[in-house]
Structure 1
Amino acid sequence: MVEHSNIPTLADVLVRIDAMEEGTRRRDLRSAVLSFCKAVGKRPEEILVIPHEIRALREAVQPLAIGISKARWANICSGLNKAIALVRDLVPSRNTTPLLPDWEELLDVLPNHLVRKMSPGARYLSGKGVAPSAVSLDDLLGYCEAIKTNRMRRNAEHAADDFLWAWNRTAQQYPAWPQVHIPREDKRDTYSLPLETFPPSFAVDIDAYIGRLSQGILFDLDDDDEDEDEIDFGPLKPVRPATVVTRQRQLRAAASALVHSGVNPAEITSIATLAALPNAKRILHFMMQRNPDGQSSAGVAQLAIFIAKIAKHWVKVDTTHHDKLKRLASRVAVPVSGMTAKNRDRLRVFDDPEMVAAFVCLPDTIQKAVEKDRRAPKLKAHLAQMAAAIAIQIVIPLRRTNLAAIDINRHLVANRNGVYLVIPEAETKNRELINFQIPGFALEVVKWYIRDYRPYLVAGESSALFPGRGGALKSPHTLGLQLKKTIKQFLDIDFNIHLFRHAAGKIFLDINPGNYEVLRQLLRHKSINTTTSAYSGAETRQAGLLYANIVENLRIAHAPRRKAKGKKS
């Protein structure tokens, strides 16, 4: 148990501030401490100088709700951090401690993304006099604990976990890096079991099924008497790699759910075991129990449909069996209409015209931030890359796979009219051609990134617009996470990469209510029904305001006028 009597409070911080020489710094620090206490509703003597507890108080404050601008709140928090540093040592958000030569030598061979993650830890250890050859697990855990307990920056726990992941990844990929593995807690609530849990025949059957999906339909040209009932009516075209991954995951998840529901793993010898009606019920029941409300969900519904499909096309069950599985799937079906509630909530920030303006100007905002940054271009290149990606997404909202796969030579086509982004039908999710001219303002950001910063992100020859490790295409997942983090940093909103498409729909329909065909063309939907079902509610607020304006005008024009009261004689 921590002895609180020895821990200073913000009252003690004020005493230290009052002992300083009179001046602007003393005034500002005192104001920051008192303003913080007022915002959280506590007296200075009630707040212990424990960084993670103060972080929790700080992050619970909604500055606009208490009449403080975001800029003013940022200044208060900055001043508070400086005041707290008067009574205890803090781990700085940006460590400038000189590196020991051995750490500097190791960092020089790492790619930029790992340098950014490893450099603060290396500087911390350098400050402690710990060389790479002498670093121990206790040293690394001590650094992580210092981040969590003595750092005032937001999401300190996440930063510590991020360091653990990056350290282990670096040690795995670079033998010269200190080979100390840091145990890392797996926080995922996973139930899927490894394939080795099941008999080898189950993995063999999965491989055969995946092979069938990957090759598309093949007819036996030598069999002229093939019965129609024996024809393989599976997918005509090979499925996409992402679909293969999804099917493998679903099969392993279904088998794992069956084990958790009480079936011996040794009994799961093939995919046919999953398609047995009693087992299908067990699988879906287990999945539903995992949901907080015990009800079905989109994932459960999709798995039920998949089980019915593999029963028909792979296991070849009879019609009666298949009909029962279809009825089972219909019982757990989840009606899907329009945008999810979560996405609607996230898009509500765009009801504010100022946020819309900040969003569409974000590439320029990031570009200015990069140009003002005095660090070496190599350290700013990643942020410049985000500016280019956001510029494209704002004007041509792509799915993340297509954005990550943009090739400068193949997909950026220039002619006398300008530069076009051209992605062939075979490379898009719904086989719809993407062929849009990149507007001038967005093109300037992309050219700036390619000319001034992309060379620092790729070694050797590569035509990837957004290169990852070794010049290969950056993974869609990684690009999505980096975009999400950048938007959070500059706009302070939770915004994933797919929301660019939803934001485009909302922004467009707010100005052009009901104009779904133009939006369909922009988003490259095959059917107008897809557009209307997804965005039919996106312009509800604007439509309501337009109607309210009509009513108000009618009311003004036709409401009976009050007669002026005469004066009494």
Structure 2
Amino acid sequence: MRPVTMQSAPSIPTLQHVLERIEALEPGTQKRDLKSAVKTFCRAVGKHPAAVSVVPSEIRALRESVSPLAAGLSARRWANVCSGLTKAIELVRELVPSRNTTPLLPEWKALLDMLPSKYARKVSAGLRYLSGKGVIPTAVTVADLEEYCDAIVSNRMRRNAEKGADAFLWAWNRTAKTCPDWPQVTVPRQDKRDSYSYPLEYFPASFAADLEAYIGRLTKGIMFDDDDEDIDLGPLRPVRPATAQTRSRQLRAAASCLVHSGVPATDITSIAALVEVRNVKLILNFLMQRSGGMTSGGVAQMASLLAKIALHWVKVDAQHHAKLQRLAGRVAVQHSGMTAKNRERLRPFDDDSTVVEFVCLPDTIRKKVEQDKRPARLKARQAQMAAAIAILLVIPLRRNNLAAIDIHRHLVSNRNGVYLVIPEHETKNREPINFQIPAFALEIVKWYIVGYRPYLLDGESSSLFPGRGGQPKSPHTLAQQIKQTVWEFLGLEFNIHLFRHAAGKIFLDINPGNYEVVRQLLRHKSVNTTTSAYSGAETRKAGLLYAELLEGLRALHAPEASDRRKRA
């Protein structure tokens, strides 16, 4: 009997195989350019060609991990490298073209012409794919749509392939609902939000009314009740709108936790139901299960909030409140300094050359903008980033305060210079900000205001960073643009809040232990806040200073010590 032989799965080619196929081409410009593209890509991602599998999703991830400017490549050069890499990969495997030019079948074209442009743009490539397969609208199936999405994710080199597939499904499903002539076939989309909260309408009206009354009480600040026996002082100050929204969301989430834990929604008639000891345990257990069976910052915040509400709003007795406090103590999270994630992101700042590039970033951006030959309106956004980063370097603001800077209200001039002045009621911790803007940063800001800010105006506005309709730019949008700019120029994963941490680290590396200056710079209320966040941030520098001290002592006194030992 002939032995059965197992066939091994076909091996996945690598970029080394691609280079070998390129070598087989006829000598010429194409061969040279394709080989250069593959080798340049491998150098940029720091991998040997044999270590890079020709799997589009993996190569897309590697490509997105590269900051061309930080790698010493211009944007145009990097685009040419990526284009050449795609052509080289097509020598060893078939790819879905980034721009599908297959003619539409007449049936699909008639339907596409009926759609608004925002939907048509998202589905047109998919319709061309279906046309190429000969699939007409009356015969399309869920399998056809899933095949298209899988094809562009698995076999297309264009960036954001996963987002493109999701956008196609969203537009397709939306069109199927709103357009009767469209094929009535829908594909379930993956919900990216792991949300467990039910809308407020899911609960009894009495719960919504109690929640509204509680939020209204928070926004009124300190008040005295007519009944001297039960004085309700309330919060010392009215809470901010953002805090009120957070409290409303947290209590709705707590009620939803109970429903997921088996408590009927009809039983949750008021906030009092949330603070029953048994229910608080159910809420905390549900949240901890979502955190892998352990407590977390969110769990600790929920426990603390429910204990406070039980005392001040529901007005439970002392014994009941003590039980809730013990529960809060069991899930409390001990904060000791900066998070591990932020420490890791600041590790590149141990290199002095990175620090120099970071503090000179506004000037680097300005130089690039001035060398750019495009019209000023096309360069205005980048000039705006230079100004925003210049301010963050010298005055590490929180993103809400940065986005809200008003040229007339917050930039105050006198004979000594220009000051950034933000009153306490506009800051998160109600600590006023009053800093003189250094000359080098002020020059960048003036350059942006005079030469480029007018191109970003959409109506009259005195905002330093204007958005739509003359309003200040959204803090989230501004923060994302700054994050992208730092990545583009320096290749650092760096969110806007890390400017505050970087300021503390850079100063403490040069002046270990000088926390008071950092406290003043970051406008912390207490130096304990500063020391808890930055204690240890300067450990490496302190160790180096001590090592230098030891080396100096050894150089001065080692010969004497040796002579004393010999005499002894």
Is TM-score (shorter-chain normalized) higher than 0.5?
Answer: yes
- Cα deviation digits, residues 58-112 of structure 1 (max 9, x gap): 679999xxxxx944896976753453467867766xx9x9xxxxxxxxxxxx9xx
Cross-structure match for 1:203: 208
Question: Structure 1's 391 and 37: CA in aligned 2 closer, same or farther, altered over 3 A?
Answer: closer
Q: Secondary structure at the match of 1:413?
A: strand
Amino acid at match of 2:273: T
Look up the SS of the partner of 1:305 in the other structure: helix
Q: Does 1:250 align with 2:250?
A: yes
Q: Distance in 2 between matches of 1:123 and 1:370?
A: 36
1:478-498: CA deviations, max 9, x gaps? 222222222222222211111
What amino acid is the match of 1:253?
A
Amino acid at match of 1:286: F
Does the residue aligned with 1:435 lie in a helix, a strand or coil? strand
Separation (CA, whole Å) in 1 of partners of 2:123 and 2:374: 18
Cα distance in 2, alignment partners of residues 381 and 62 from structure 1: 21
Q: Aligned pair 1:219/2:220, yes or no?
A: no
TM-superposition CA deviations, 1:448-471 (whole Å, max 9, x none): 222222222222111111222222
Post-superposition Cα deviations, 1:184-222, rounded to whole Å, max 9, x if no partner, equal 6431211111111111111111110000011112235xx
Match of 1:265 in 2: 265
Matched to 1:328, the amino acid is L
Distance 1:351 1:52, change over 3 A: same
1:191 and 2:196 matched: yes
Supply the distance in 2 between the matched residues of 1:392 and 1:162 (Cα, whole angstroms). Answer: 37
SS in 2 for 1:414: strand
Question: Is 1:391 the counterpart of 2:390 in the alignment?
Answer: yes
Q: Secondary structure at the match of 1:306?
A: helix
Summarize the Cα distance change of 1:474–1:159 in structure 2 as closer, same or farther, 3 Å threshold.
farther
Kindly report which structure 2 residues correspond to 1:150-549, keeping only aligned pairs within 5 A, or say none: 152=157, 155-158=160-163, 185-220=190-225, 223=226, 226-227=227-228, 229-292=229-292, 294-549=293-548
Q: CA deviation at 1:331?
A: 1.1
- The match for 2:104 is none
TM-score scaled to structure 2, two decimals?
Answer: 0.78
**For the residues of structure 2 that align with 1:58 and 1:71, how far apart are their CA atoms?**
15
Corresponding letter in the other structure for 1:190: S
Residue 557 of structure 1 is matched in structure 2 by 556
Question: For residues 461 and 123 of structure 1, what CA distance do their matches in structure 2 show?
Answer: 38
**Alpha-carbon distance in structure 2 between the residues aligned to 1:539 and 1:209:** 45
C-alpha contact (below 8 Å) 2:67/2:489 kept by paired residues: no
Mapped partners of 1:320, 1:417: distance in 2: 60
Q: Percent identity?
A: 65
Amino acid in the other structure paired with 1:424: P
Cα contact 1:37–1:43 (8 A) shared by 2: no
Q: Retained in 2: the 8 A contact 1:206–1:271?
A: yes
Evaluate the alpha carbon distance shift between residue 85 and residue 363 of structure 1 in structure 2; reply closer, same or farther with a 3 A threshold.
farther
Counterpart amino acid of residue 230 in structure 2 = E
In structure 2, what is the equivalent of residue 178 of structure 1?
A: none
Q: What's the offset of the Cα at 1:148? A: 4.0
Match of 2:60 among 55, 61, 66: 55
- 1:552 Cα shift? 2.1
Amino acid at match of 1:262: G
Q: CA deviation at 1:327?
A: 1.3
* Alpha-carbon separation, structure 2, partners of 1:542 and 1:37: 35
- How many Å separate the matches in 2 of 1:338 and 1:48? 41
Shift of 1:516: 1.2
**1:422 Cα deviation from its structure 2 partner:** 0.7
| Conserved 8 A contact 1:40-1:58 | no
TM norm structure 1: 0.78
Q: Which moved more, 1:50-59 or 1:403-412?
A: 50-59
After superposition, what is the alpha-carbon deviation per residue over 1:341-387, rounded to whole angstroms, capped at 9, x for unaligned? 11111111111111111111112222233333444433332222222
CA shift, 1:320, in A, is: 1.2
SS in 2 for 1:473: coil
For 1:510-548, what per-residue CA distance to the aligned partner results, in whole angstroms no more than 9, with x for missing partners? 011111111111111121121112111111110011111
Query: Is the 8 Å Cα contact of residues 233 and 313 (structure 1) preserved in structure 2?
Result: no
CA distance in 2 between counterparts of 1:204 and 1:490 reads 51
CA distance in 1, matches of 2:438, 2:199: 49
Quickly say closer, same or farther: Cα 1:120–1:358, change in 2 above 3 A: farther
**Per-residue Cα deviation, 1:275-298 (whole angstroms, up to 9, x for no partner):** 111111111111111112x11111
User: Using a 3 Å threshold, how does the CA distance of structure 1 residues 57 and 527 change in structure 2: closer, same or farther?
Assistant: closer
C-alpha distance in 2 between matches for 1:11 and 1:346: 33
The C-alpha deviation readout for 1:12-48, integer Å capped at 9, x for no partner, is 855774576645663353254467689756659xx87
User: Structure 1's 533 and 245: CA in aligned 2 closer, same or farther, altered over 3 A?
Assistant: same
Greater shift after overlay, 297-306 or 374-383?
A: 374-383
Shift of residue 419 of structure 1? 1.6
Paired with 1:479 and 1:259, the residues of 2 have a C-alpha distance of: 38
Q: Which residue identity lines up with residue 457 of structure 2 in the other structure?
A: V
Match of 2:4 in 1: none
Classify the secondary structure of the residue corresponding to 1:325: helix
Structure 1 residue ranges without an equivalent (≥5) = 64-68, 98-109, 131-135, 172-180, 564-569
Offset from partner CA, 1:93-149 (integer Å, 9 cap, x none): xx9x9xxxxxxxxxxxx9xxx9xxx99979989999x9xxxxx99999999878645
Give me the whole-angstrom Cα distance separating, in 1, the residues matched to 2:420 and 2:149: 44
Residue ranges of structure 2 left out of the alignment (5+ in a row): 1-8, 102-116, 132-136, 176-185, 564-568
For the 8 Å contact 2:509–2:538, the answer to whether it is kept is yes
In 2: Cα distance, 1:387 partner to 1:146 partner:
40
Shift of 1:150: 5.8
Do the aligned partners of residues 491 and 119 (structure 1) sit closer, same or farther apart at CA in structure 2, a change above 3 Å counting?
farther
Change (3 A) 1:151 1:413: farther
SS at match of 2:412: strand
Q: Is residue 26 of structure 1 aligned with residue 31 of structure 2?
A: yes
What whole-Å deviation, never above 9, does each CA across 1:143-200 have from its counterpart, x for those lacking one? 98786456546654357668989x89x99xxxxxxxxx99864312111111111111
Q: Distance in 1 between matches of 2:384 and 2:401?
A: 16
> Shift of residue 392 of structure 1?
0.8
What is the alpha-carbon distance in structure 1 between the residues aligned to residue 33 and residue 86 of structure 2?
A: 12
Give distance in 1, aligned partners of 2:120 and 2:562.
75
Q: How many pairs align?
A: 519
Q: Is the 8 A contact 1:385 1:449 kept in 2?
A: yes
Name the CA distance, whole Å, in 2 between partners of 1:280 and 1:446.
Answer: 51
Structure 2 counterpart of 1:175: none
- Please, which moves more after superposition, 138-147 or 185-194? 138-147
Say if 1:40 and 1:61, in contact at 8 Å, map to a contact too: no
Of 476-485 and 143-152, more deviation after overlay is shown by 143-152
What residue identity is the alignment partner of 2:405?
I
After superposition, the Cα gap between the structure-2 partners of 1:32 and 1:124, relative to the gap in structure 1 and judged at 3 Å, is: same
Q: Distance in 2 between matches of 1:483 and 1:140?
A: 37
Paired residue secondary structure (1:422): strand
